[in-house]
Structure 1
Amino acid sequence: MLLTALLILGITILVFVFLYFVPVNLWITAQFSGVKTGLLELVFMRVRRVPPSIVVNSLITATKAGLAIKDDIESTARVLQAPDLETHYLAGGNVPQVITALISAEKANIELTFKQATAIDLAGRDVFEAVTMSVTPKVINTPNVAAVAADGIQLIAKARVTVRANISQLVGGAGEETILARVGEGIVSSIGSSRTHKEVLENPDKISKLVLGRGLDAGTAYEILSIDIADIDIGKNIGAILQTDQAEADLKVAEAKAEERRAMAVAAEQEMIAKAQEARAKVILAEAEVPKAMAGAFKDGNLGILDYYKFQNIQADTEMRESIADNKPKSTGKSNKGN
């Protein structure tokens, strides 16, 4: 009994292992769906760690939809093969999404080759969404864009950009951020070139025409269909603010220069006072030498007493004249007449 149970268990395990590596049910489904694939080929897929169900189900979907793929634009259409999908899966692609995108593109008469679809998918983009955007354009709302007209008035604009996916540029093409940046740059340039803000408010479509005519979608994954100005608001008077700031700056510069001149004048005045005091000190020193010189002259006999009295009389007369001229009473020395 034990041997029989072990035998049954072993047979069951072998059956499960066989059915895992040899997906008979999947092969039968493929045959009835018109997909020509060998049972041994499914086994090799399992060995290569490729889920046979993904490949077979995708082939069934493509076959039922009548999908014929092209490797490139100029090549002839051919039937999709299992190795094509297996290679894409091993490269890390999303096989069912690629098949869905190819079927949608064919039904919408959009030129999309198998090579393009797999490249878009491997680049990290949603290939089915790209096909959907080619059929149904997408509207992108720009953030508020502030710009200043030539008269100094700030305008805040908001635009709606209608784009359609450019299949040929999806790999390596710039995304929505680039579109928004270029549109914002165009709005700023258009408003800045207007003489007055009233011109912009009267003709907002002028902005759309100027921006749309610049070919902003070059090098991007999208094709711009239209640019519509949704809203324009008046902001600050930037010109007046700048003039006020400039006037305040000029005033501060003038005050600084005036303070500099005042400081220089004070310094010059102090310098002159110092020089005057220095000169006065020299005079005092010179006057202090006079008595010494007179004493030396008396001692050497070069100056007599009569000469000294004459000197005193001259000094007294000089002080008297200065007192009369200044109307100030001054003490005068004694006037002595020599005999």
Structure 2
Amino acid sequence: MDLNTLLILFIAVIVIVVIAVFLSFVPVMLWISALAAGVRIGIFTLVGMRLRRVVPRRVINPLIKAVKAGIQLSTNQLESHYLAGGNVDRVVNALIAAHRANIELSFERCAAIDLAGRNVLEAVQMSVNPKVIETPFISGVAMNGIEVKAKARITVRANIDRLVGGAGEETIIARVGEGIVSTIGSSESHNQVLENPDLISQTVLKKGLDSGTAFEILSIDIADVDIGKNIGAHLQTEQAEADKKIAQAKAEERRAMAVATEQEMKARVQEMRAKVVESEAEVPLAMAKALREGNLGVMDYMNYNNIKADTEMRRSVGDMNDPQNEE
């Protein structure tokens, strides 16, 4: 093989490598698809996207869909939304859905809703087909003390103008639950709620619960109503039990005080008896002293003993006639 043939082969390899690198860096097929779809875009615009770290198909494919749907968008709009971290394909789909449903929705608002973290396509679909939110059983207590449990179905429609900064489904459920509890609590009897469950929905709807939320409440329907516990009777039973325990505690306190008083009286009686015994022990000494000194005669002593014996006899007779001693 001569030198010319080797040079030609070398040049051919270089050309093939250059073409392969070019095709891998420049999305030629995507450019051809865009031209075939009527989207005029320069090849160097695609190269610029590569340099700006933008995936061209993430921008061009949604742009083709928008053009085919009759929506005029620019590559700069889609590319800036992509660089901001948005979902370009979902935004374009939402714009197409809004355009088909005759809903006024600009690209800027749609992009803002998407960047706010909300599913803008789902919001547009919910504007066309309202969504039903079902609450769990919500308990309320009527004035007669009977617990009433109610479950509601809330039909809502997305409010696109309030999607940015508006509260979500959790707020709607919480507000409706609060309205159900207050309506049941203002009813004189649980029978009123059972007979007219629509009274709950009418009262709740008048409160304007959708203010400040991303939804518009279309209707609130009570799906199920059930009777719970007799809260009033339960509270009265607990109150009676508490009063009983308080009375028992007070009675125990009074008994303890009575026992303490009795013990104190017994102690005083014992003290008084000790003093009497002590005094009685001093009587013979005093009498002996009186006899020695001549202040008390023998006859006086005998009279004293007679009086003492008579007193003990009378005491014995009195104890025999006492009814308490007979028992």
Amino acid at match of 2:255: R
- Identify which of 75, 88, 94 aligns with 1:95: 88
d(CA) in 2 for partners of 1:325 and 1:59? 125
Q: 1:102: how far off?
A: 0.9
Structure 1 partner of 2:66: 62
Q: 1:298: how far off?
A: 4.0
State the secondary structure of the residue aligned to 2:257. Answer: helix
d(CA) in 1 for partners of 2:271 and 2:10? 129
Q: 1:101: how far off?
A: 0.4
User: Does the alignment pair 1:224 with 2:228?
Assistant: no
Structure 2 partner of 1:337: none
d(CA) in 1 for partners of 2:156 and 2:94? 19
Give the TM-score normalised by the residue count of structure 1.
0.86
Query: Structure 1: 5+ residue runs without aligned partners?
Result: 68-78, 329-339
Amino acid at match of 1:319: E
- Identify which of 264, 267, 271 aligns with 1:274: 267
Q: Which runs of 4+ in 1 moved over 6 A?
A: none
Q: 1:162: how far off?
A: 0.2
Structure 2 partner of 1:155: 148
Identity among equivalent pairs (%):
64
Structure 2 partner of 1:50: 54
1:1-339 aligned at under 5 Å gives the runs 7-67=11-71, 79-327=72-320
Q: 1:183: how far off?
A: 0.9
Amino acid at match of 2:73: L
Q: 1:97: how far off?
A: 0.8
Which deviates the most, 250-259 or 213-222?
250-259
Q: 1:299: how far off?
A: 4.4
Amino acid at match of 2:228: G
Q: 1:164: how far off?
A: 0.5
Q: 1:325: how far off?
A: 4.1
d(CA) in 1 for partners of 2:281 and 2:208? 97
**How large is the RMSD of aligned CA atoms in angstroms?**
2.2
Q: 1:43: how far off?
A: 0.7
Amino acid at match of 2:274: A
Structure 2 partner of 1:335: none
Amino acid at match of 1:269: E
Per-residue deviation, residues 283-320 of structure 1 (Å, max 9, x unmatched)? 11221222233334444554444443343333233333
Q: How many residues align?
A: 317
Q: 1:29: how far off?
A: 2.9
State the secondary structure of the residue aligned to 1:226. Answer: strand
Which deviates the most, 42-51 or 172-181?
172-181
Q: 1:4: how far off?
A: 5.7
Which deviates the most, 136-145 or 150-159?
150-159
Q: Considering fraction of residues, name the structure with more helix.
A: 2
Structure 2 partner of 1:73: none
Structure 1 partner of 2:324: none
Which deviates the most, 149-158 or 245-254?
245-254
Per-residue deviation, residues 47-99 of structure 1 (Å, max 9, x unmatched)? 111011221222222122111xxxxxxxxxxx421111111111111101101
Amino acid at match of 1:59: L
Which deviates the most, 86-95 or 116-125?
116-125
Query: Structure 2: 5+ residue runs without aligned partners?
Result: 322-327
d(CA) in 1 for partners of 2:183 and 2:275? 78
Give the TM-score normalised by the residue count of structure 2.
0.89
Amino acid at match of 1:135: V
Q: 1:11: how far off?
A: 2.6
Q: 1:210: how far off?
A: 0.3
Q: 1:38: how far off?
A: 2.1
Q: 1:143: how far off?
A: 0.8
d(CA) in 1 for partners of 2:283 and 2:150? 93
d(CA) in 2 for partners of 1:284 and 1:214? 90
